[in-house]
Amino acid sequence: MHILVTGAAGFIGSQLSRRFLAEGHTVVGLDILNDYYSVELKKARLAVLLEDSRFRHAHIDLADRDAMARLFAEEKFTHVVNLAAQAGVRYSIENPHSYVDSNLVGFCNVLEGCRHNKVEHLVYASSSSVYGLNTNMPFSVHDNVDHPISLYAASKKANELMAHTYSHLYRLPTTGLRFFTVYGPWGRPDMALFLFTKAILEGKPINVFNEGKMRRDFTYIDDIVEGVVRVTKRTPVPNPDWTGAAPDPCTSPAPYRIYNIGNNNTVELGRFIEVLEDKLGMKAQKNLMPMQPGDVAATYANVDDLIADTGFKPSTTVEEGISNFVDWYRDYYKV
C-alpha cells in the first residue's frame, strides 16, 4: 500500500505510521506541526519515522485546498488514514473556529482528494465523544448519536455524515473509527495520564474532575494501532440488508462502515489514578473538581462489530498500559 497518514506527528498517527512501515508499506505523513501542544514532542516522533527511507513528511495544512489537491494528484495514494484534527473537547469551547478549519474544511479536502484520485479506502478518526447525551451502555455503533455536547464531538459526527455522502455519491469506501480515550507511550501532553504523571513527579496537585467518579474506556495505543491496521486492510462493502425503514446508523447501502475501538471495559478515574500512583511509587495531591462543560460521565465501548469483522478485540489492561507509559515517560524526560 502507498498510504497517506494525516496527523503523522501526532500520538496515534506516529505509532500507526511506524507499524505500516514495519509491514513494508510506503507512507507519506502529513502534519503541519501546530502548537496546540509541544512541537518538540511532535518533532521527536517524526524523527523516528524519518529514519525509514519509505517515509516522507508533508508539511501541509489540511485546510489548504490547493496544496492538498496537488499532494493527492502527485502521490496517487492507494489508502488514506485521516487522523489530523484539532483535538480536545474543552479546547473546542474556547476556540471553535480551529475545529471548523481542521475538522470540517480539512476533512472535505481529504474527501475530494480521495474522490478524484481513486483512493481504494479512506479510514478516518471519529471519536467516542459523538455519543454525547446517549446513556445506553455500552455505546453501540448501532445507537443513534444525534446529541453531541461539544463542538469537537459535533465536528466528528459531521465527518461521519460527510463520509457517508461521498460513499453514497461516488462509491468511495470509507470507514470511521470511534476511538475511546487513547493512552500510552508517546502520548498527548494535554491528556490526563500525561498531566497527572508530570504533576505527581513534580510534587504538584492534580485536578480530578467529577471528583474522580468519571468512568472511561481507556484504550492502549497498541490496541488502537492494531485495530486501525486491520480495518484499513478490510475495504467496506454495502450492507445488502440495510433498509431506510429501519436505518442502521453504522452501515449503508453504500460502501460505508463505522466501528468503535475501545477496551470494552470502563474504569473509574479514581482507580486509574491509584494504578498510576502505584507505578510511580508516589501519592497524588488531588484537587477534586466538578464536571467540566462538554464532558460526559462515562464512556464504554461495545466492540462486537469490530470483533466480528476483523477478529480483533483490544485487551491491554490499565495496569499494563500505565506501567509501559511510566517507563517511557521516565526514560524520555530522564526523571
> Which residue is catalytic, options 91, 152, 256, 329?
152
- Tell me if residue 23 falls in helix, strand or coil: coil
Q: How much is the average pLDDT of 320-335?
A: 95
Catalytic, 99? Answer no
d(CA 205, CA 192): 13
Distance CA 39, CA 45 (A): 10
- pLDDT tops 90 at residue 95: no
pLDDT digit string, tens, across residues 291-326: 888 778 889 999 999 999 999 999 999 999 999 999
Cβ–Cβ < 8 Å for 124, 113? no
Q: What is the pLDDT of residue 88?
A: 66
Whole-number average pLDDT of the chain: 93
Measure the CA–CA gap between 252 and 236, rounded to whole angstroms.
10
DSSP category for residue 129: G
- Alpha-carbon gap, residue 84 to 74, rounded angstroms: 20
Look at residue 86 and tell me whether its pLDDT is greater than 90. Answer: no
Express each pLDDT in 237-280 by its tens digit: 999 999 999 999 999 999 999 999 999 888 999 899 999 999 99
For helices 39-49 and 11-22, the axis angle rounded to 10 degrees is 0
Give residue 325's pLDDT: 97
Name residue 327's amino acid: D
pLDDT, position 90: 67
What does the pLDDT average to over 36-42? 90
Coil, helix or strand for 158? helix
67 pLDDT band, cuts 50/70/90, is very high
Q: What's residue 151's pLDDT?
A: 87
Q: What pLDDT sits at residue 298? A: 87
Residue 159 grid cell: 465527518
CB 52 within 8 A of CB 203: no
d(CA 333, CA 335): 6
**What is the C-alpha R_g of the chain?**
19
Residue 53 has a CB neighbour count (10 Å cut-off) of 8
Mean pLDDT throughout 169-177? Answer: 98
pLDDT-derived band at 109 (thresholds 50, 70, 90) equals very high
Q: Is the pTM of this model over 0.85?
A: yes
